[in-house]
Amino acid sequence: MLYFIKSMCYNEIEVRNLTVQIEKLDHYGRGITRINDKICFVENALPKEIVEIKIIKETKKYFLATTTKIIKKSEDRTDIPCPYTNQCGGCNLAHLSFEKENEFKTEKVKEIMNKFAKIDSKIIKEIVYDKPYHYRNKITLHTNGNKIGLYQKESNTITPITKCLLLNDKLNEELGNIKPKTKKDIILKIGNKTDEILSPTNKNNYIISYIGNKKYKISEKSFFQVNSVITEKLYEEIKRIIQDKKSKNVLDLYCGTGTIGIYIHECVDKVLGIESCKEAVEDANDNKELNNATNCTYKLGKVEDLTTELTKEYDTAIIDPPRSGLHKNVIKKLLEITPKNLIYISCDPVTLARDLNLLKEKYEIEYIRPYNMFSRTYHVECCTVLSLKKGKKEEEVKNGIYRN
Ligand SMILES: C[S@@+](CC[C@H](N)C(=O)[O-])C[C@H]1O[C@@H](n2cnc3c(N)ncnc32)[C@H](O)[C@@H]1O
C-alpha cells in the first residue's frame, strides 16, 4: 500500500513517521492534511507547519494522527505552559497564540454559518475576549481510589492534577485540600467578587456570585456560566439590546438560575423564565428575592413541554439552550407567536446554524457576535440578534392569527 504526500511516495514500512504539511485547522483545532486524497486530522499541528505524524486511527473517510516532531514551526505557535498537556484533553488550542485563537473562532463561526445556514459572513461581528488563562469559576474533578483529576482525552482514565491553568487561582489552592473519598465526581465553584467556595470540604451547599451589580445564589447542580468576566460583557450586550428594542414582556428560556432575566429586569415590565433543573429554579426564585426582581416569574419544566406558556403577549425572547439547541416544537411555537425580537445565546455554532436556518423563515438575522467564553479550547459562545421580518406581524394580524 502506498501513501502519497505532496507528490512524494512512501511504502508502508517507511511510512511509520510520515512527513506532512498542514493546510488549515478544522473546527476542533486539529490540523488538516491529506494522505492519498483522504483527509487526515493531526493533533497539535498548525497551518503551514511541516510535521512528522503518527497515524492513530483510520476509518473509511479519514485518518487521525498525532504530531511526533515539528520540522517547520509556525510563527503562531506558543509554548504550552501546562504540565498535563499531552494527557488531559482540555486545552485543544494551548499551542496557538491567543490572538490567532480569537481569529480562529471568528472564522469558525463564519464558516459554520455560511455552510449550514447560508448566512453572510458580514453579519458576524468582532469577537469579545478577555484573558487566556485562570478564568474558570468551576471545575469537575473525577476520582478513583487515591486518584483525583481530569479525564484523559476521550477516555475515563484519570490524569491526577494539582492545578489547572484555566482555573481561578483560589480554586487551584482549594484543589490541594481535596481528598478523594468516594467514586463520585467532585465539583468546585467560586463566587465572582465574593470568592466564596463551594466544595466538599467547606460544607456550604451554595455560594453567592456577582455579575455586574446583580447577586446570584448558585448551588452545586445549577448551571452558571464558567467565565464571569465574559458573562458580564455578554449580559451587558443583552441589556443594551433590550433597551434599544424597548422590550416590555420578555421570555427567558432555559433560564438556569434566572441570571439573564434578573440582569435586565429593571428595563422591562415582566420576565417569564423556564428551566428544567429543579435546583436552578429554586435558586432563580431566591435570586429574584435577593435582587428585588418582583417582575420575574419562574416555571419548572422543559421548554418543549411548556409551549402553552409561550404566548403572543411576549415581544422578546431570550433563548439560551444547552449544546443540543432548540427542540423543533420550540421553534414551531416561536414562529407561531412571533415575538418582535429574539436574542439567541448559543455555545454550539452548529446547532445554532441549524436553528437559525428555520427561524429565518420569519426573522432577519441582525448580527452574530462570538464571545471567547472558553479560552484555549475550540469552544465558542455566540450572541445572535434576530428581528421579525417587516410585514410578518401585519400579515398575521390580517389573517387573524395575531391578536393584540
Ligand atoms: C446554557 S444554560 C443557560 C442558563 C442561563 N441562561 C445562564 O445564562 O446562566 C442552559 C440551561 O438550560 C437548562 N435546560 C436544558 N434542557 C432544557 C429544556 N429542555 N428545557 C428547559 N431548560 C433546559 C439547563 O439546566 C441549563 O440551566
CATH number at residue 325: 3.40.50.150
Average pLDDT over all residues of the chain: 92
Q: Is residue 376 part of a domain?
A: yes
How far away, in angstroms, is 324 Cα from ligand 1 center? Answer: 11
Give a yes or no: residue 214 inside a domain. Answer: no
Task: Report yes or no on 300 lying in a domain.
Answer: yes
Give the number of the atom of ligand 1 that is nearest the alpha carbon of residue 223.
27
Per the structure, the complete domain to which residue 240 belongs is given by 98-132+227-398
Tell me the pTM: 0.92
Give the residue numbers annotated as catalytic, written as ranges. 347
Domain identity same for 301 and 376: yes
- From 72, 88, 122, the end of a domain falls on 72
Kindly state whether residue 200 falls inside one of the protein's structural domains: no
Nearest to 334 by CA among 302, 311, 300, 366: 311
One domain for residues 18 and 107: no
Within-domain flag for 249:
yes
Give me 186's grid cell.
467532585
Residues 392, 281, single domain; the answer is yes
The domain boundary residue, chosen from 57, 72, 87: 72
Residues 6+ apart with CB under 8 A from 271: 250, 251, 252, 261, 262, 264, 265, 293, 295, 296, 297
- One domain, residues 309 and 238: yes
Distance from the alpha carbon of residue 58 to the mean position of ligand 1, in angstroms = 37
Q: Are residues 29 and 116 in the same domain?
A: no
> What is the number of the ligand 1 atom nearest to the C-alpha of 327?
19
In this structure, is residue 89 part of a structural domain? no
For ligand 1, atom 18, the nearest C-alpha belongs to 302
Q: Answer yes or no: is 364 within a domain.
A: yes
| C-alpha grid cell, residue 229 | 468576566
Of 72, 90, 115, the last residue of a domain is 72
Q: Are residues 68 and 102 in the same domain?
A: no
Q: Could you give the residue ranges of the DSSP H alpha helices within 90-217? A: 98-117, 169-175
What does the pLDDT look like over 107-151, one tens digit per residue?
Answer: 999 999 999 999 999 999 999 999 999 999 999 999 888 888 998
What pLDDT sits at residue 183? 64
Residues within a 6 A CB radius of ligand 1: 223-225, 254-256, 259-260, 274-277, 280, 302-304, 320-322
Same domain, 391 and 346: yes
Task: Count structural domains, the chain.
Answer: 2
**Residues 277 and 358 grouped into a single domain:** yes
Task: Tell me: do 122 and 10 sit in the same domain.
Answer: no
With beta carbons less than 8 A apart as the criterion, state whether 199 and 188 touch: yes
CATH number of the domain residue 26 falls in:
2.40.50.140
Q: Are residues 247 and 364 in the same domain?
A: yes
Same structural domain, 43 and 103: no
What Cα–Cα distance (Å) separates residue 84 from each residue in 87, 88, 189, 227, 347? 5, 6, 21, 22, 25
pLDDT digit of tens for each residue in the chain (404 aa)? Answer: 334 443 333 434 345 579 999 999 999 999 999 999 999 999 999 999 999 999 999 999 999 999 999 999 999 999 988 989 878 888 999 999 999 999 999 999 999 999 999 999 999 999 999 999 999 999 999 988 888 899 888 788 898 999 999 999 999 999 888 887 766 889 999 999 999 999 887 769 899 999 999 999 999 889 999 999 999 999 999 999 999 999 999 999 999 999 999 999 999 999 999 999 999 999 999 999 999 999 999 999 999 999 999 999 999 999 999 999 999 999 999 999 999 999 999 999 999 999 999 999 999 999 999 999 999 999 999 999 999 998 766 666 566 544 43
Tell me the DSSP string of 365-398: EEEEEEE--STTSS--EEEEEEEEPTTHHHHHHH
User: Are 27 and 124 found together in one domain?
Assistant: no
User: Which pLDDT value is given to residue 11?
Assistant: 39
Q: Whose CA is nearest to atom 6 of ligand 1?
A: 255
